Amino acid sequence: MILSPSPNHNQRAFGAEISILMLHYTGMLSTAAALARLCDPEAQVSAHYLIDETGQIHSLVPEDRRAWHAGAGSWRGMGDVNSASIGIELVNPGHEHGYRPFPKAQMAALLPLCQDILRRHPIPARNVIGHSDAAPLRKQDPGELFDWQGLAKQGIGLYPKTRIWQGGAKILSAKALLKQIGYDVTQQCQANAYDFKKTLIAFQRHFHPRHCDGVLDQKTFMRLLDVAYSMKNDI
């Protein structure tokens, strides 16, 4: 691990417990450009860690400090996500500059880092999320090429097993399911006002990555039910 200290952090809100692990992509063309931005006091952004495409980990902000990575958004009713989370940036050009798969070496470095963080903080599986989960209107990262399913197989985060739904399964509206999973479906925050299609795309990016089209078809609806059901027993 390389120390690349960023000045962009402050104190976590009083009483805030670390309960969310948020993953991002940098959306920039190079590691150097991303590091320069995350350490630039003018930019006022940061994360706790950055992992480049070779698997090199940079430590930017101490975990007990509030890094500035989440911005406006919410997860499971928590609005100040920065105070409650640890943020990891993965170097990737992102959707704007040539989105590409996350290399094996990068994922191999991410895995033990996440496991280590989860050992040290009370973060439930359902609170291991992407930036777009908390800010569906503004963000797409880490996106549909990120292997959430593979991560869940290693005990990081939650991914549903496919179930066969018999007739008689209770029909809930998709919005209610999105809310139950954790998405903000209120109009409270203007920068992040609820938009069904964008929120559904954020959900698909995370849990149904081959169909991130915002269309509520049968498969997407079943996947909503699967995720909500899997989360029922996760604290």
Q: So which residues are the catalytic ones?
A: 89
Nearer to Zn ion, 141 or 184 (CB): 141
> Toward Zn ion, which CB reaches closer, 24 or 126?
24
Nearer to Zn ion, 142 or 160 (CB): 142
Q: Applying CB under 5 A, which part among 3-11, 41-49, 128-136, 202-210 lies near Zn ion?
A: 128-136
Residue with tokens 């860690």: 49
Contact indicator for 194, 185 with CB cutoff of 8 Å: yes
Which of residues 9, 24, 179, 223 is near Zn ion by CB under 5 A? 24
Alpha carbon 103 to chain centroid, angstroms: 18
Stretch that binds Zn ion, among 29-37, 76-84, 134-142, 181-189 (CB under 5 A): 134-142
Q: Is 205 in the site for Zn ion (CB under 5 A)?
A: no
Residues touching Zn ion: how many (CB under 5 A)?
A: 3
State in angstroms the smallest separation of the CB of 169 from Zn ion: 35
The contact pattern for Zn ion, residues 135-174, with x = CB under 5 A and - = no contact, is ------x---------------------------------
Of 66, 131, 205, 206, which lies in the binding site for Zn ion, with binding defined by CB under 5 A? Answer: 131
Report, in Å, the least distance between residue 131 CB and Zn ion: 3
As a whole number of Å, the end-to-end CA separation of the chain is: 32
Distances, alpha carbon 108 to alpha carbons 25, 61, 80, 147, in Å? 16, 21, 30, 12
Instruction: In whole angstroms, give the CA distance from residue 114 to residue 129.
Output: 12
Give dist(CA 50, CA 79) in Å, integer: 23
Whole-number minimum distance, CB 94 to Zn ion, in Å? 9
DSSP string, 104-141: HHHHHHHHHHHHHHHHHS---GGGEEEHHHH-TTT---
Return the range that interacts with Zn ion (CB under 5 A); candidates 60-68, 94-102, 123-131, 183-191. Answer: 123-131
Count of residues making up the chain:
235
Element housing 51 (H / E): strand 49-51
Which bin fits 180, alpha (ψ -120 to 50), beta or left (φ > 0)? alpha
Q: Which is nearer to Zn ion, 9 or 131 (CB)?
A: 131
For Zn ion, the closer CB: 199 or 230? 199
Residues that bind Zn ion (CB under 5 A): 24, 131, 141
